[in-house]
Chain A
Amino acid sequence: MGISLTRAAQWTMVSSSTAKLVSTPMNESLLKEILHFVEHFRSQYPQEAEHVFEEPLQWSTTLVASDFKTDYDISDSDVQSHERDSEGHPLLQLSPPTVYVRSFSQLSKLLHLAHDKKLAEVRACLEGKFESNLHPKQSNHQHSSITHRLNLFVLLVTLYSHPIMLNPKAVKNEVEILQVFCGGGDKGLLKSLRYTSDFEFSNGYRAPLWRQVQGDICYLVIEPCDTETLHITCSTAGIFLNGGIKQEGEENGYEQTSDTYEDLVTLLKSRSPHFAEKINQVEDLIVCLIKKSEAGLLYFRKTSAGALPGEPFSESSTESEEEEEQPYRHPETNTDLPSEYWQIQKLVKYLKDGDQIVTVHTLCAMMDFNLMQESCQMAIQDTGALKVLLNLLDTDEHKCEIGSLKILRTISHNSQIRRVIVDMRGVQSIVKILDSPVKELKALAAETIANVAKFRRARRNVRLYGGINKLVSLLDCLPNLASLTPSQEEDIEVACCGALALWSCSRSTKNKKAIRKAGGIPLLGRLLKSPLQKMLIPVVGTLQECASEESYRTDIQTLGMIKDLVRNLSSDNDELQMHCASAIFKCAEDKQTRDLVRKYKGLQPLVSLLHKADNKQLLAAATGAIWKCSISQENVTKFQEYKALEILVSLLTDQPEEVLVNVVGALGEFAQIPANKAAIREFGGIKPLVKLLTSPNQALLVNVTKAVGACATNKDNMVIIDQLDGIRLVWSLLKNPSADVQSSAAWALCACTENAEDAGETARSLIGGFQLIVKLLSSTNNEVLASICAAICKIAKDEENLAILTDFGVVPSLAKLTNTTDDRLRHHLADAIAQCCMWGSNRASFGEAGAVAPLVRYLKSKEGSVQRSTAMALYQLSRNPNNCITMHEKEVVQPLIHMMGSDDEELQEAAAGCVRSIRLLYMANRNAELFTFRN
């Protein structure tokens, strides 16, 4: 509301300097907005509404005494309100036709009584003679200069409804200050900065009039030292890049092409790394200057705390353990507030009125309350202490800052207070303190950030205000010296807090990148050698959080952190063990890492963590690490020595899903070794595995099908699976919407079909099963397609099944896929085609469906498996004369002859068979021709 209102008001200001408000559509809508605002002012801001104006608003009203009801003294035509000020004057007085109103509450009531004449009343009120300024709370700020009542309303409306309002003066100040730092080659902040227009309107605007209506203040052209020229629009709503306005009077280019920023410096920081770096050196100075000249503006920003409206979120990461942003919950008023509430309220008064010494005492007294208690936290928030505490952070009185942070770090455990801190721009102030020379302050600030940055907007703010770089630089200490000086001990304390803060911040993907860019990884690696648990937990926590990024995993491995992670697996702290296991879990995607874990003897501690079955988080991390490590067969052998398999099987029941996923994943890897397949059966693992096939969790299903598939290659296992109706369960998973589950299930199906006694019979007993399989051939996922082709190949070994598949149109579906370039798919596709040729007229059908020509191209593939499968398929297809002709046309003979020289006998045979078919056809043809010739 605020924006549109001011924009409009800037116009009406000019046109309505006369006594009458011109009746334009814009003014009408403006009136309506003001009406709406005044009407609701009483309910939204009850305190402010009761505030008595020094001078009454007066105007000629159309209302008469009879319009007024209770709450008013009515004598003849005069009306007085019951409500009176401290000196006994009524707050509303009507002596027709003039009405005097002395508070918003009364104004709002009056409008309520006016019914359909509301708008006329507002208009009359605005046009009415203006006696003097209002005197509400913000009286000490620039009201005296505003003489027009309309302005005043607009100001109030903006104040209460919109926290950020840039004004020409603020922009001009910022531009002027930045201009001082322009030029001077690389030493300057910017190459140049200029307005597009030298003409400044009397209201301080430089944008053309028709753009001023939209709120544009001026346009800037800025040349940074390191990137291309920026074209910037400064508008009342914020600062953003435009489509390229080069000079005044342009018609185009006004559209917004970037996010909106609240000031120029923030925008430039995000666009120019050079600027960001340099500005840090002069930032304090600039901020200081801007603040001084804009004290008023800043005051408004701070008092009208609220979320920045329309703030763009550039973050898209999916984040773990994200807090929901909840609307502010107003505590129920006056219902048995505890005595602490009133005591804190009294302290807050001293906090506001006292000097530095008194402030310190007040803060110390406040610390003595149980600040973890919600009633105390609420008291601090409701009494406005939070604002004072945040303001103290900007005072440079380090004792006050320390006291304030000590309170903030505790109360910021409350999620609502965290939010308010961010809304009040507390993050900026706290981040700034990270530069303090006083180590205690740095540590406290970092600790507070660690608490506040529990939700996304806070983390984003930390990054935008340069907090990540500062936090990373806190990590710079020597963690493992034998003897420490007090100063070095302080450094370690600071580094601990810095790591805690980074841990919180690292939940956001962009922050992970920022930490890396700031050189955080080597520092974290150094701290990892620390013997202190309180240091290790946040450090490993950060690392495992960041290890979701590939680049981190590489660094963790190459910087030798695996060794330290493995070492701490044997720590006596569950949390630390958990984070280490979790980091290994994420990093062990890489083969070298898996080998390193083995090299540093990390496998045994991982297995021993499995005994801590009560701590589910730890168990999940440990089983995850075992799963990923067991992808390397050498590791599986090692795990066997520590009897991991038996424990893993025992964990198949009564565990939460996050544990099960990992356990089953590990079993899937273990079962790649034949001996383990039998072992899983002996430990009784088959039954729970098959049971898990009915789980709704997709991640779990992918692993379960894989494990079942791996186990199914053992005949004895297969008997059990079959008894438990496992084939049907696996088959039904093809219906799962997830492509991963589909393909994984199809692979399992291959194994089951191959090894079950009467798989063909079972398959036929499943209603709709074949249809489903053929339908999946129209999937867009190559992995699904490959797995389904492989499954078809196995299923079609049974002739009856092949006949049914053919009826469901498997041939054209397969033929359609032949144009793929994916070698894995080609391999299984060719296999499936070869198998499907075995029925009826399928060979001819493949030829008609155009499957032959693309298959010939497969021969060029470098992949041995593709060549082999293709040769087999071609051999099968070549038994149809038409196919032979197509093959010959596509010059199949030469590559086939080449393959006949291969070491692979099957390939040799297939290639030779195919060539033979072609040759036979040729001979037959020739004979036929000769025969015809002779006759």
Chain B
Amino acid sequence: MNKRTTQTLAENISKQVEHFSKKEVECLIREFNVLMAEQNNSGRAVHGLDRGKFISTLHSIFGLTDDRMTGRVFRTFDKDNDSVVSMKEWIDGLSVFLRGTLDEKIKYCFTVYDLNGDNAISREEMLHMLKGRLIRQPNEEDPDEGIKDLVEIILKKMDYDHDGKLSFEDFEKAVKDENLLLEAFGTCLPDFRVICNEKLLSSLNFPIKNSQSYSLLFLFFQRIEMFEGRVFQEQMEQ
């Protein structure tokens, strides 16, 4: 894809997507193209990242390693259910991933956790997502007894309308009340543990909108830098 098409594309997309400037969208498009190139398409023409490539990207760039969750993240990114994440979906998704407001993140997380898409997180879904997260005590007969009990504790806290499942409203209210509950049933947002330097970021002229995401931006930026470095080198060689 040449530079001009990238630019026009970026211009179009940046109008539709929140949180990203045109220049940033450009970077993201390039990154997407790199990932596409790395993907083994075995001759087939595909218009997006397939499940395997996407999950490995989540793993390597964003530090998401929970298999139960990465699959769901793919499904959430892939809005049109065509088993690939297209460029538009990629940028849309990242907008929430990197810059999302709390409301957007609540929506995103809820979608990830709502396994069957019925707009509610049921007991069974919770059980499935929490299974194995508790070390089993040898004297307990039912290995999931602890988890079942925990699910009841969670429902007691989060199920405001007492219908035995978490509706979106329940979830939203609970998270707004206590932000820690955002990723209640599994890590599905990028990890912020990487130590980052706010000054470095601002010197790179990358506007920081959300304090939470800057460590990730840092990582992300590194990749973009690396990418740009690579492109630059190629030009020199030509």
Contact = CB atoms under 8 A, between A and B. Distances in A.
Task: Check if A and B associate.
Answer: yes
Interface of A: 346-347, 349-350, 353-358, 360-365, 367-368, 396-399, 402-403, 437-439, 486-487, 490
A361 B174 CA distance: 12
B180 A403 contact: yes
Contacts of A365: 153-154, 156-157
B195 A437 contact: yes
Nearest to B153: A365
A350 B183 CA distance: 18
A398 B134 contact: no
A368 B196 CA distance: 33
B86 interface: no
B184 A361 contact: yes
B230 to A, nearest CB: 29
A662 B99 CA distance: 58
Contacts of A367: 178
Contact of A399 (B134, B180, B185, B195): B180
Interface string B178-194: 10110111110000110
B100 interface: no
Interface string B147-173: 001100110110000000000000000
B181 A360 contact: yes
Interface string B122-156: 00000000100111010000000010011001101
B146 A350 contact: yes
A349 B181 CA distance: 20
B177 to A, nearest CB: 9
B150 A350 contact: yes
A486 B210 CA distance: 8
B192 A398 contact: yes
Given A357-B186, A357-B187, A361-B154, A490 B137 contact: no
A149 to B, nearest CB: 29
14 contacts: A346-B149, A353-B137, A356-B187, A357-B183, A358-B130, A361-B184, A364-B180, A437-B192, A437-B198, A437-B215, A438-B192, A438-B211, A486-B211, A487-B208
B211 A357 contact: no
A360 B184 contact: yes
A398 B182 CA distance: 13
Given A350-B146, A368-B157, A396-B193, A357 B130 contact: yes
A141 B227 CA distance: 49
Contacts of B135: 353-354
Interface in B182-223: 183-187, 192-193, 195-196, 198, 208, 210-212, 214-215
B133 A355 contact: yes
Given A355-B133, A486-B210, 15 more contacts: A346-B149, A354-B134, A354-B150, A360-B180, A360-B184, A361-B150, A361-B181, A361-B184, A362-B153, A365-B154, A396-B193, A397-B193, A399-B180, A437-B198, A437-B214
A409 B198 CA distance: 27
A20 to B, nearest CB: 42
B153 A358 contact: no
Q: Which A-B residue pairs are the 4 nearest by beta carbons?
A: A353-B135, A355-B133, A358-B133, A354-B134
Contacts of B153: 347, 361-362, 365
Contacts of A350: 134, 146, 150
Given A398-B192, A487-B208, A364 B181 contact: yes
A360 B149 CA distance: 15
A438 B192 CA distance: 9
Given A398-B192, A490-B211, A357 B180 contact: no
Contacts of B184: 357, 360-361
A398 B193 contact: yes
Contacts of B186: 357
A844 B156 CA distance: 101
Highest count of chain B CB atoms <10 Å: which of A356, A361, A398, A487: A361
A759 B159 CA distance: 87
Contacts of A398: 192-193
Highest count of chain B CB atoms <10 Å: which of A354, A362, A397, A437: A437
A360 B185 CA distance: 10
A160 B44 CA distance: 69
Given A358-B134, A486-B211, A490-B211, A353 B178 contact: no
Contacts of B130: 357-358
A397 B193 CA distance: 8
Contacts of A397: 193
A355 B183 CA distance: 13
Contacts of A437: 192, 195-196, 198, 214-215
Contacts of B208: 487
Nearest to B211: A487
Nearest to A399: B180
Nearest to B182: A399
Contacts of A399: 180, 183
A865 to B, nearest CB: 64
Highest count of chain B CB atoms <10 Å: which of A350, A362, A367, A486: A350
Contacts of A363: 180
A362 to B, nearest CB: 8
B180 A402 contact: yes
A170 B26 CA distance: 54
Contacts of A403: 180
Contacts of A355: 133-134
Contact of A357 (B178, B185, B193, B212): B185
Contacts of A396: 193
Nearest to A403: B180
A357 B134 CA distance: 10
Nearest to A368: B157
Contacts of B193: 396-398
Contacts of B134: 350, 353-355, 358
B126 to A, nearest CB: 10
A529 B211 CA distance: 26
Nearest to B208: A487
A349 B195 CA distance: 32
Contact of A364 (B137, B178, B185, B187): B178
A474 B154 CA distance: 35
A363 B181 CA distance: 10
A350 B136 CA distance: 10
B68 to A, nearest CB: 11
A75 to B, nearest CB: 35
B193 to A, nearest CB: 6
Contacts of B150: 350, 354, 358, 361-362
A367 B179 CA distance: 13
Contacts of A346: 149
A405 to B, nearest CB: 11
Highest count of chain A CB atoms <10 Å: which of B133, B181, B212: B133
Highest count of chain A CB atoms <10 Å: which of B130, B153, B157: B153
Contacts of B181: 360-361, 364
A395 to B, nearest CB: 10
Contacts of B185: 357
B127 to A, nearest CB: 13
Given A363-B180, A398-B192, A439-B211, A357 B133 contact: yes
Contacts of A347: 153
Highest count of chain B CB atoms <10 Å: which of A347, A355, A367, A403: A355
B233 to A, nearest CB: 32
Contacts of B214: 437
B72 to A, nearest CB: 14
A357 B198 CA distance: 28
Contacts of B187: 356-357
Contacts of A402: 180
Contacts of A361: 150, 153-154, 181, 184
Nearest to A435: B195
Nearest to B174: A364
A354 to B, nearest CB: 5
Nearest to A363: B180
A485 B192 CA distance: 21
Contacts of A364: 157, 178, 180-181
